[in-house]
């Protein structure tokens, strides 16, 4: 009984922390820095245009870049993933590399970590320097009850837009997750942290947002149909909504699609996405294609995940 009251008290403290953190957020309608913190790093959720934040099975490895609280419900002890993405090949021509993992050392506790790097093309043929952005992330989640977990992510981000000059900052994510038999709900504050200070242009806030996400799964014999929706309200005044769906067969073959509508200056823009995956034993291969956006259209992502 005492343990139950302790768990409830811990959850209450976590929930009370979220609006307290939000109260310290940046001013409305300000420009944001480090928008790369909000790009979807998983080929699973990218194929649903960013929806699926609350899912607990397909995406545990990427918890450090998404929802760490979901990892507390992962079925395996270890989930590790790597992927490559060609981002906006017609306009941006960037290359993104991500490595991430989740481990469950004891029951109810999960640890996430990961690193992602975005490399831009060479602008000066006489100088091989490439502008780049980087994000080191680590997460921790704990299952308070059979259905509720909390999670925290910490990020160290730095960006080199010109040679020998680096901007850096830290950010935190705080998430509460409810995991039901065939549905999930998650919510929290994403990318909260101090302003990014540039000696040349001043200080700019991070792309902080309040996030709410949910998904529902319907099982029919060997088929499963999952429908997901996510919404972000950025403290800058921007917003974004993603909806997506997954059809799977025998937990081996996956087809995914989704769409996102976002305000013009949102860190993760409007687009349409489609993708799929194939799972054999402990290995899962996932791919994603992004369309219907003049800047990031024709982006491709492919990744491999190992679950033990």
Give me the residue spans of the domains in the chain.
2-307
The reported pLDDT for the residue numbered 275 is 98
The reported pLDDT for the residue numbered 251 is 93
The reported pLDDT for the residue numbered 98 is 98
The reported pLDDT for the residue numbered 213 is 98
DSSP 231-259: EEEETTS-EEEEEEEEEEETTTEEEEEEE
The reported pLDDT for the residue numbered 12 is 45
Three-state SS for 181? coil
State the Cα–Cα distance between residues 101 and 239, nearest whole angstrom.
Answer: 29
CATH number of 2-307: 2.40.160.60
Three-state SS annotation for 97-163? EEEEEEEEEECCEEEEEEEEEEECCCCCCCCCCCCEEEEEEEEEEEECCCCEEEEEEEEEEEEEEEC
Tokens read off for 199: 């000696």
Q: Is 199 exposed, middle or buried (0-12, 13-18, 19+ CB in 10 A)?
A: exposed
Is residue 182 within 8 A of residue 218, CB to CB? The reply is yes
Q: φ, ψ for residue 72 (rounded to 5)?
A: -65, -20
The reported pLDDT for the residue numbered 136 is 98
The reported pLDDT for the residue numbered 7 is 53
Instruction: Compute mean pLDDT per 10 residues along the chain, 308 residues long, and list them.
Output: 48 44 41 94 97 89 97 95 97 97 96 98 83 98 97 97 91 97 96 92 94 97 96 96 97 97 95 97 97 97 97
DSSP single-letter state for residue 44: H
- Write the pLDDT tens digit of every residue in 6-44: 454 444 444 444 444 443 433 344 589 999 999 999 999
């Amino acid at each position: 009984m005492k343990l139950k009251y302790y768990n409830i008290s811990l959850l209450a403290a976590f929930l009370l922390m979220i609006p307290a953190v939000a109260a310290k957020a940046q001013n409305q309608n300000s420009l944001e820095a480090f928008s790369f913190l909000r790009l979807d790093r998983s080929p699973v959720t990218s194929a649903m245009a960013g929806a699926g934040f609350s899912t607990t099975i397909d995406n545990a490895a990427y918890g450090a870049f998404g929802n760490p609280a979901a990892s507390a419900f992962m079925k395996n002890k270890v989930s590790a993933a790597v992927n490559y993405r060609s981002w906006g090949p017609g306009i941006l021509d960037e290359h993104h590399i991500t490595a991430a993992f989740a481990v469950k050392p004891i029951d109810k506790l999960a640890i996430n970590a990961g690193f992602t790097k975005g490399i831009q093309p060479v602008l000066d043929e006489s100088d091989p320097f490439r502008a780049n952005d980087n994000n080191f992330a680590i997460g921790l989640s704990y299952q308070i009850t059979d259905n509720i977990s909390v999670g925290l992510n910490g990020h160290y981000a730095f960006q080199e837009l010109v040679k020998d000059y680096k901007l850096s900052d830290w950010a935190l994510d705080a998430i509460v997750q409810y995991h039901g038999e065939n549905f999930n709900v998650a919510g929290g504050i994403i990318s909260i942290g101090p302003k990014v200070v540039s000696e040349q242009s001043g200080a700019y806030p991070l792309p902080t947002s309040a996030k709410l996400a949910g998904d529902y799964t319907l099982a029919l014999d060997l088929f499963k149909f999952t429908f997901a929706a996510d919404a972000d309200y950025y403290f800058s005044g921007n917003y974004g909504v993603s909806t997506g769906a997954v059809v799977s067969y025998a937990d081996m073959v996956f087809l995914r699609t989704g769409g996102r509508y976002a305000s013009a200056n949102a860190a993760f823009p409007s687009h349409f996405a489609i993708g799929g995956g194939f799972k054999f034993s402990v290995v899962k291969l996932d791919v994603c294609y992004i369309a219907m956006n003049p800047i990031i259209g024709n982006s491709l992502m492919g990744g491999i995940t190992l679950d033990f």
